[in-house]
Structure 1
């Protein structure tokens, strides 16, 4: 609505100014035209001078001809102010005055003038007048010419223009309202729906989806992208929760094992020294396992916060596997699983974060040992295919 008012008000102001300028142009043009015609008629009237007065028999057809061809009302007075010729014979012989013929007596003093007046001769319509003195070659003033033209036609034309502009403005406002309603349906409302969904997503609600909306191609594409992103975040959140649940379960297993071994040592360790030698390595294995789980949780927290920093260095995969085998060897021996290293000679080195690579292989091999049957084999191998390892 604010945009509608902000756009409509300047148009209304422009229309008002345009109509005022149009009226000013027409009236100024009519005034100049009346003055020019009055001057021409005064010159023609001066030619009827017979050395004493103007010849009325010669003035009458001249005035009639000008009135007929110019569509104006013509009045001619002599030097005494008596109307000697006119397009309306009803005023002949009357004395001009400022009440019925404003400006004519002023023209007798040699001053051309014009005025707009509601003349009783034109049913009190707005009428424009031009008064011009009649001067002979010696400068003597013989009388004055008055030309009058009703402004009704100009008023009607300006009114038609104003009405047309008003209709155009109303049509423009109607179209603008329709466009704004269309934009509201196709842009504003879909964007509001997207904003609500984004707000719910920021609050952690990943179960909601943007409903199917009808809008521009860009808005529909944005809604589809937002739904796909929400689904991906929901899957990732599910994986994170599952991972935390798995780690929590994994933490209980070594803790329970350490507790059981510790209780056994506390109860029988003093009387059976062989128990200490047999069970202490198991405690070390379980502690290492707990340390790896704690490292994984720390890495997960760093990944979620965006603070995980990789430290790239030259890595030889054989050395990585040797280190991993050294860590998991006690667990493999306890479970009766054989570890096999199957690497060809000349395996190329690569650049990576060595600690992360060790962690990856440690998790893989540890899981393989736990899920391999007794007397089974866990084999780790690699090969180079071009630039791919």
Structure 2
């Protein structure tokens, strides 16, 4: 009986190559024209992403740190092993300076960057989708400058439409959604009342949150993207602000396929994170609470969680001194990692991303 000495290509292409670490893919493109064509295809990028999302052993979450030079450069740090330090400095594939670039959000390895107006820092003259690993980028279609609220963005992937969407709320309170597949903007709500901020997306619905200052409740708006109808629920917060001006902020996040409320507040010498789940958009008191806390160290409002590590520790950024640290919540200790003051600009909210092969030009 003759024994096969080579694996069939369909086995290699479908079951072996998609399991490789993302940074090793480029070297296999040199095997042949066929391999180069397949590994450069959108189908392989999607298959590799699916394996990547189900593989908990690989560390692909990175944090972008921008330089304080003009033009701006960047480097990255591994969110699970930050002790390894920064990677080598690379150039941005598009023109930007430290004064005008803002990293807004990321999903599936694509980072949304806004290029700010020099005169009015709250306006963007361009929005760019960018893969920091591959360098692929795309300047989004626009008709005028983006007069967007400071936190008026939500970037997400719609699996049912196989499309990347960007939700924007203008300063006039109009709600727009950009489709990467069609390269177009659609207005879904006009002059919505209230100070709303996009927060998360789930099952063809986007969730916006309205909470100004230290209130005892917050409002959640759910917009059904299929019907363009919306519902608003007012939810009481579990922890009332104290009379001495204790601060807190509220967001919605996806945990286990459900929308939950993320509440951050100060209690004595601790900075608390509380995850809340409520019955439905009909309102009602949140329930099913899980509490995490960590030492506040000086002023807690300037200590921002970046990533919860697999071992339960937090990678955090301190705005006082502009440094990175690891906080052990159980032992209540803080490990200083590095200061970004001399070489780098502030670490931004949308700077965390997953290394993937996704391209903003995949629908071209």
TM over 0.5: no
**TM interval, short-chain normalised:** under 0.3
- Higher helix share goes to which structure? 1
Structure number with the bigger relative contact order (C-alpha 8 A, sep ≥ 6) is: 2
Larger radius of gyration between Structure 1 and Structure 2: 1
- Higher strand share goes to which structure? 2
TM-score normalised by the chain length of structure 1: 0.19
TM-score normalised by the chain length of structure 2: 0.20
